[in-house]
Structure 1
Amino acid sequence: MHTQTMILDIQRQFPSVPGYLSACTAGLPSFATTAALRAFVDEWSTGRMDARRISAQVEQCRALFAGLVGVAAERVAVGTQASQFASVVATAVPDGGEVLCVAGDFASLTHPFEQLSARGVRVRYVALDRLADEITAATSLVAWSHVQSASGAVSSAEQIRAAAEGAGALTCVDLTQAVGWLPVDAGDFDITICHAYKWLAAPRGSAFMTVREGLESRLVPLAAGWCSADDPWSSCYAGHTPLAQGAGRFDLSPAWPVIPGTVAALETIAGIDPLLSHEHALELANAARSGLDMAPGDSAIVTWPDVDGTDLAAMTRAGIVASGRAGNARVAFHLWNTHDDVAQLIEALGR
């Protein structure tokens, strides 16, 4: 099938929202996701909500996400927020250890590590392009976003991973701004974290963590509860609260209303060739860069300086949904976007 025909078939699964250039803030729900959310509300409002079925849907989410990032399902923990998982990762940092992070990275990843100062843990920030070079024998953990939220910059993940391995440091990669448009293999890293409401177009409130086999014992399940067992329904009460054998021990009690929509969202994305998603996003992003007199790039997120917000205001007036972060204007291109969106952007900015 011709690539453009495949893209059109994919776009029919999503609502048409001209000028929506904000997948990096929140994805658009597919029609299947919207239907699943509405069905949940209908069932809930008529007393037909089935908690055990939702538990089964959590397992569907685990398996679907595992397939998207190339790991076994038992390597995946299911939760609600990226920062909650980062807090669990922080428990693996020894007293007096160093956590190496990227300057300007998203706070949900970095802030939990800053709370370790009472244990003598130091968080050191360096530029993204210096991250691999700055790893030393004193580094206990390297934590970074594979795609930076504020700039859209894509990390040299393999180079960083290799440097960390050579120094004996753990790696924790936030994939929130990557999975869904950028093919990744979570198995390359010790730990990955991903919130699903951006490029995976799920409802906000579903997040995932992958943990390399054998690493479970180095992490403390700080928020362990009844869902942290292999069989939550037999672990509801004190006296029998075993931890799951795999990464499920780090599961958090799910936000029930978002789980059916997350299943639908992940099924939608899982049914799309990731290389096609990547190619489409980069094609549009680089068409936008060309129209804005910028050099080609490798990210689906396009940013440029806009300290006073003039360009963001112009885009908003033109009906474009964009964002401003850290003094930059920011747009993003995903499956639902077309070249018409690029033309609308260029016209709005008078280029």
Structure 2
Amino acid sequence: MDSFVDGSGYLAACTAGLPTLGTLAAQRADLDAWAHAETSPATYGALVEEGRALFAGIVGVGPDRVATGSQTSAMVAVVAASLPDGAEVVVPEGDFSSIVFPFLVQAHRGVTVRSVPIDRLADAVRPGTAMVAWSSVQSATGAVTDPQPVVEAAQAVGALTLCDLTQAAGVLPVSAAAVDVTVTHAYKWLCAPRGVAFATVSDAALERIRPVQAGWYAGEDVWSSCYGPTMRLATDARRFDVSPAWQAWPGAVAALRHLASVDAASAWRHATGLTDRLADALGSPRSGQAITTFPDGDGAALAALTAAGVTASGRAGRLRLAFHLWNDEDDVTRVVEVLRGVDGFRPVG
């Protein structure tokens, strides 16, 4: 907890993470360097490569399988644009729009998107399915999906897999090794500034996905790829890189250094332990998740927490709370005291 700014009452890592003290120092130093004309693309480029390697370690793949970008929806759009005409994509009902919309906008080519209950995702894969896309942790509910049955079902019919790790990496032990494509924006549980995102790409995906947004940063040698018409793209996942949002990277690397040093299993036990304590205190079933939700159709519970200085969020008619490394039992006690005073609040239903 001492590595972060004061996170007391901040229960919204699923919305946006808090900065580490190292991130703040790095961002301030970069602003000072910029003010003195001391920044350079090469310096930022070195940070991108360090960030690539740190993220690779967090998700269990080699740096050559990691591409860098700024937003997950743009990364998913590259995958969607590479699907053949008439392809079928299977997604969970109610998954985050950045995973769903890039496929839906391919309808003019006959691409169809079939939404199924999250607990039936693996069973819904069938011959003819070209892609299965899902979030490792559902944004609205915090539900965690075991990737193995989904990956096995997809492999059985020759479908590619795409998993969004944005609500997982940094708190839940994850591995990108078995999935064809993963996408992760680092501004939530990885606590980076917004504007730094990563994708991982398998060998099969590298062969089947076209880098339709290729620019100078996708070149085999970035610094000699600034002008056309000759194009030599990187042979590994870097061919999907886009030009970095420079000023976000100093803080992002500082955050990734810290999160890479944290045992993910311990982080998960810490977060789920707090949600379980909250459930016990409110008399609701334990979720075993880092994100927990309660019915709040009129928003009264969220409003009461906000008035009490607790930062939470509301999604799909439910109060959404997330516990991360800066939270402790005092946050649980504070939430319980507020919610017990909300007329009509029921933790189940």
TM-score normalised according to structure 1 size: 0.95
Match of 1:269 in 2: 259
Map of 1:174 onto structure 2: 164
Residues 110-159 of structure 1: CA deviation (Å, up to 9, x unaligned): 10000111111100111101111111112110000010000111112111
Say whether 1:315 aligns with 2:305.
yes
2:346 counterpart residue number: none
Matched position secondary structure for 1:123: strand
Hey, what's the Cα distance between the residues in 2 that align with 1:350 and 1:281? 22
Aligned to 2:184: 194
2:22 aligned residue: 32
CA RMSD of aligned residues (A): 1.0
Q: Aligned-pair distance for 1:92?
A: 3.2
The aligned counterpart of 1:164 is: 154
Asked if structure 2 preserves the Cα contact closer than 8 Å seen for 1:98 and 1:141, the reply is yes
CA distance in 1, matches of 2:284, 2:208: 45
User: 1:215-230 residue pairs with structure 2 within 5 A?
Assistant: 215-230=205-220
Q: Which residue of 1 aligns with 2:229?
A: 239
CA distance in 2, matches of 1:262, 1:240: 33
The offset of 1:333, in angstroms, is 0.4
Query: d(CA) in 2 for partners of 1:292 and 1:178?
Result: 25
Task: State whether residues 274 and 332 of structure 2, in contact with CA within 8 Å, keep that contact through their aligned partners in structure 1.
Answer: yes
Shift of 1:215: 2.4
Whether contact under 8 Å (1:226, 1:241) holds in the other structure is no
Deviation at 1:214, TM superposition (A): 3.9
Gaps of 5+ in 2: 342-349
Contact 1:101 1:125 in 2 (8 A): yes
| Residues 277-288 of structure 1 aligned to structure 2 (within 5 Å) | 277-288=267-278
Question: Shift of the alpha carbon at 1:291?
Answer: 1.8
In the TM superposition, residue 279 of structure 1 has moved relative to its aligned partner by 1.0
- Could you report, residue by residue, the CA deviation over 1:221-249 in whole angstroms, capped at 9, with x for unpaired residues? 12111100132111111134311110000
**Residue 155 (structure 1) aligned to one of 126, 138, 145:** 145
2:177 counterpart SS class: helix
Distance 2:183 2:25 in 1: 27
CA contact (8 A) 2:81 2:106 kept: no
Measure, in 2, the Cα distance between the counterparts of 1:299 and 1:220. Answer: 36
SS in 1 for 2:10: coil
Aligned counterparts, 1:26-175, within 5 A: 26-175=16-165
In structure 1, what is the Cα distance between the partners aligned to 2:31 and 2:231?
Answer: 31
Q: Which residue identity lines up with residue 334 of structure 2 in the other structure?
A: Q
Q: Distance in 2 between matches of 1:41 and 1:47?
A: 10
Letter in 2 for 1:30: T
> Paired residue for 1:8?
none
Equivalent position to 1:18, from 8, 15, 25: 8
- Secondary structure of the residue that 1:208 maps to in structure 2? strand
Tell me how far 1:48 sits from its aligned partner: 0.9
| Cα deviation digits, residues 32-78 of structure 1 (max 9, x gap) | 00111111111111111121010011001110000000001000000
What is the CA-CA distance between 1:307 and the residue it aligns to? 1.2
Contact 1:91 1:218 in 2 (8 A): no
Report the counterpart of residue 344 of structure 2 in structure 1. none
Partner in structure 1 of residue 249 of structure 2: 259
Amino acid at match of 1:210: T
Distance of 2:188 and 2:168 partners within structure 1: 9
CA distance in 1, matches of 2:107, 2:116: 18
Give the Cα separation in 2 of the matches to 1:140 and 1:45: 50
Aligned length: 341
Matched to 2:229, the amino acid is G
Matched residue, 2:345: none
Deviates more, 1:53-62 or 1:239-248: 239-248
Match of 1:3 in 2: none
Name structure 1 gaps, 5 residues minimum: 1-10
In structure 1, C-alpha distance between the alignment counterparts of 2:309 and 2:185, rounded to whole Å = 27
Amino acid aligned to 2:125: I
Q: Which runs of 4+ in 1 moved over 4 A?
A: none
Identical counterparts, % of pairs: 50
